[in-house]
Amino acid sequence: MLILTELHYHPPAALFAELLRADGILLEAHEHYRKQTFRNRCLIRTAQGVQPLTVPVIDGNRAAKVSIAAVEIDYRQNWIHRHWRTLQTAYGNSPYFEYYADYLHDIYVGKPILLFDLNLQFLRLLLRCFRLTLPIHLTTSYLPDYSAQPSFDNADLVTTRLPLVDRRDWLTPKAASKTADPDSPAAHSLVRPYPQVFGPGFEPGLSVLDLLFSQGPAAGAFLR
């Protein structure tokens, strides 16, 4: 099974519950950039509650449609420092923050020009954290419906006839306002409650970093 998805910035843990049962990942590389999505933001839990971390992009507010693969990160804003300080403050005392911190920090300070490249580097790291060796493929054009005409960068994917599960825009900060696909599992039900740094109660829908910093190598056991 191939999971078709957009690239996220530190996506919710539910995505990795889907990837645990996948044979590969097909990344949407030809969509238009969309604001206020997980493409350039994630949700973490701090002492003040759930907080978004947003990667600023150049001309992110312009009306013209921009390909996701061409969106550049705005380093005129000191967002790396803000994001890293927030992660340190929120998770510095968690059991596994130091275990992953250097790997994450190396990607940040590398300052990739494109949002797509930043997210892809983080995705590859997160797959290693979950010990997933899934092949990653890119779409070659945008199609609203891939069931009729596959568009892959690898012809072998067409000949193997792996079933394709479309999870584009399945995870969104505005999930509560979106009509659920009857064939799509509810994201919140794919992650079992685990001890979070800040409480009380369990907060679903957070970045997978929250789960990794709390549970480390055992994180996969909390994904259904």
Cα 116 from Cα 88, distance rounded (Å)? 24
Rounded mean pLDDT, 145-170? 68
Output the pLDDT for position 187. 78
Phi and psi, residue 145, nearest 5°: -130, 115
Average pLDDT of span 32-61:
92
Asked if pLDDT for residue 120 goes beyond 70, the answer is yes
The alpha carbon of 70 is separated from its chain's Cα centroid by a whole number of angstroms, namely 18
State residue 176's pLDDT score: 43
Q: What is the average pLDDT score of the chain?
A: 89
* pLDDT number for residue 145: 84
Domain boundaries, the chain: 2-172+184-219
State pLDDT tens for residues 2-11.
Answer: 999 999 999 9
For residues 168 and 31, what is the distance between their CA atoms, to the nearest angstrom?
10
Q: Are 66 and 59 in contact (CB under 8 A)?
A: yes
pLDDT score for 199: 80
The pLDDT of residue 157 is above 90: no
Placement of tokens 């696909």 in the chain: 181
**pLDDT tens digits along 88-101:** 999 999 999 999 99
The whole-model pTM stands at: 0.90
